[in-house]
Chain A
């Protein structure tokens, strides 16, 4: 699968799972890694980029080991972007399924 295309899907998934539950980077990697075949190198950079774009905000929470952990929380802008992404993705998927359905 085209890496650019895959990266777009991962962005959507990252937005979605953080919209459902605020998570740390490691938890995001764990959640995604168990569900889809994902390039582990890309997840943190995506999290960072989405945070820079103000789709996420971060806060820290204490942890039993080491320094406090950084958690990601979706912003209202992030939710808006997620809805847009979901709409585009569903539309795209419907069209693909329509084509494949012809077989």
Chain B
């Protein structure tokens, strides 16, 4: 059994790029430990239990490069180094022979794509997340150029966070996974409904999916039932009033859900003095703007941006730590994207605003 241990350990160490001297040193150390155990007249099984298993020991020793991996790494690095030249040649061929300078320039995306594939294939995770910005840009430019459909093609950029969530699924349960996806599913559904139906006035209801899924996280069964029922009732009542009377006051039916939230302790505005006034004013102002602008100007497609006032003002008031602009960048960039796209029909270029998010994060990262 003890000999098997040493043979197994030597065999595993042989798989790694380490010097013969280091290998021999480790094996001798374990031989000594085994002899120490024998000297103390310990059973073989106990000695093995005390010194561990060869597989786990080699893992703990932290050797990174397996021999075969080293060869593959060298090939991968060659491929990365060659990718700019290959891209440039393809670019010239496409340009001179087919006059495809645009969108032929996109072959340069092969450079980061190659690097990501080579580097992440070793780790085996988050490859699609890392590739998604490049795939999104390629899809957006090609589809947008071919069909002049910059809006709603920009939605493809939501693939980036969606892939991030999908590839992190192993770290979360199903409930958390679907809750994390729900804002993106809702936003995509909302934009597509607006696009294909032409400002369908009920399309904002898809955002209720986020709340419905969020309610699954309520631990108390009774509270969960109360909240579900009240939200369902509020929604049905809202639809009934809107269909029968067509009056925007139908939104008040959601007060049933708000009351249920306060009753179950889920809506708990716990601010003191000045903060309470600030919080209430901010929430009232943003909802009033959302409903007011949406209703009077029939601008539901953009008026939801007023709801960003809530997180933005809270971040500005309470976030005392650096980075300063990074937490604001998602709201600013989405607002820019939608405003430029909707009012100036600049969807084909307004997506660049989304790049503000990584750029701000990189600049502010220390």
| Inter-chain CB contacts under 8 Å: number | 69
Bound-state Cα–Cα, A55 to B31, Å: 23
Task: Compute how far the CA of A41 lies from the CA of B51 in the bound complex, rounded to whole angstroms.
Answer: 6
Query: What residues of B have a CB within 8 angstroms of the CB of A69 in the complex?
Result: 32, 35-36
Residues of chain A with a CB closer than 8 A to B32's CB:
24-26, 63, 66-67, 69-70
Binds A, one of B56-64, B85-93, B264-272: B56-64
A29 proximity list for chain B (CB < 8 A): 33, 50-51
Interface residues of B in 1-51 (CB under 8 A from A): 26, 28-33, 35-39, 49-51
Interface residues of A in 66-81 (CB under 8 A from B): 66-67, 69-70
Q: Name the A residues within 8 Å of B35 (CB-CB).
A: 63, 65-67, 69
Q: Of all chain A residues, which has the CB nearest B52?
A: A41
Which residue of the partner chain, among A40, A48, A65, A70, contacts B39 with CB atoms under 8 Å? A65
**A92 CB-CB contact with B under 8 Å:** no
Which B residue sits closest to A66, measured CB to CB?
B35
A63 near B60 (CB under 8 angstroms)?
no
Interface membership of A89, Cβ < 8 A: no
Q: Is the interface of A mostly helix, strand, loop or mixed?
A: helix
Other-chain contact of B50, A24, A30, A63, A66 (Cβ < 8 Å): A30
Tell yes or no: B75 within 8 A of A by CB: no
B28 touches A45 (CB 8 A): no
Most interface-central of B49, B53, B61 (chain A CB within 10 A): B61
Query: Which residue in B28, B31, B51 is a CB contact (below 8 Å) of A40?
Result: B51
Q: Give chain A residues whose Cβ lies under 8 Å from the Cβ of B49.
A: 40
In the bound assembly, the distance between CA atoms of A26 and B47 in angstroms comes to 10
CB-defined A-B contacts under 8 Å, sample of 27: A24-B33, A25-B29, A26-B33, A26-B36, A26-B37, A26-B50, A26-B51, A27-B36, A29-B51, A40-B49, A41-B53, A41-B60, A44-B30, A45-B57, A45-B62, A48-B29, A49-B62, A63-B36, A65-B35, A65-B39, A66-B31, A66-B35, A67-B28, A67-B32, A67-B35, A69-B36, A70-B29
